Amino acid sequence: MKTLKLTLLMLVVALSTTAMAQKGVKIGLINSNELLTAMPERTEVQKEIESYANQLKVTLDAMRKEYETKVGEFQSIQEGLTDIIKETKIREITDLEKRITEFQQTAEADLQKKEQELFQPIIDKAKKAIDDVAKENNYTLILDSSVGGVVLYSIDGDNILDKVKKKLGIE
């Protein structure tokens, strides 16, 4: 599957390079991770995400403490309990375990959703600035050189990070 994707990507790059060679290709490079890290809005978003994560952690810690307390109480008194009370206590502890697991899963999903919601406007702003710089400077193609980015081969590509930062007012 990975080989197929790489082969298709190489084919697309080869075909587009051949087609664009006739026009005169101008390639720009940008490290999108570096750009996003430099954007001042990122700090506020990061603080908001950390605050939200801490709220979730406090709730989860309280649930775990309640669980540990119930287990400790049960272990200390289980010898003197009747079977029906033991079953009830075990069911309570088991239900609490399930709630903790469900909360943990829901919290992780909510945190990811929150990150997406908060970071999307920053990503959109960066994308618009990249598009604007590409159009203003007549670039045919902009490649992302960040880790995991898509740069298979580059010859005389211009790094446009400084131009995009200037467009965003970042020094």
Residue 17 confidence class, pLDDT cut points 50, 70, 90: low
What SS3 state is found at 143?
strand
Q: If one looks up domain 25-168 in CATH, what number appears?
A: 3.30.910.20
Summarize the confidence of residues 8-26 as an average pLDDT: 55
Structural domain boundaries of the chain?
A: 25-168
Instruction: Report the candidate in 51, 52, 58, 60 with the shortest Cα–Cα distance to residue 111.
Output: 52
Checking if the pLDDT of 44 tops 50, the result is yes
Residue 61 — very low, low, confident or very high, per pLDDT cuts 50/70/90? very high
CA dihedral 29, 32, 38, 42 (to 10 degrees): 160
Residue 26 has pLDDT above 80, yes or no: yes
> Rounded to an integer, what distance in angstroms lies between the CA atom of residue 95 and that of residue 103?
12
Q: How far apart are CA 135 and CA 117, in angstroms?
A: 28
**Per mean pLDDT, which range of 26-30, 56-60, 113-117, 153-157 is the poorest?**
153-157
Instruction: Return mean pLDDT, the chain.
Output: 84
Determine which of 4-8, 26-30, 48-52, 119-123 has the lowest per-residue pLDDT on average: 4-8
**Phi-psi category of residue 5: left, alpha or beta, with phi > 0 → left and psi -120 to 50 → alpha:** alpha
What does pTM read for this prediction? 0.66
Structure-token pair, residue 169: 């007012």
Name the nearest CA neighbour of 70 among 97, 107, 32: 97
Res 5 pLDDT > 50: no
pLDDT at 108: 96
Res. 8 pLDDT band, cuts 50 70 90: very low
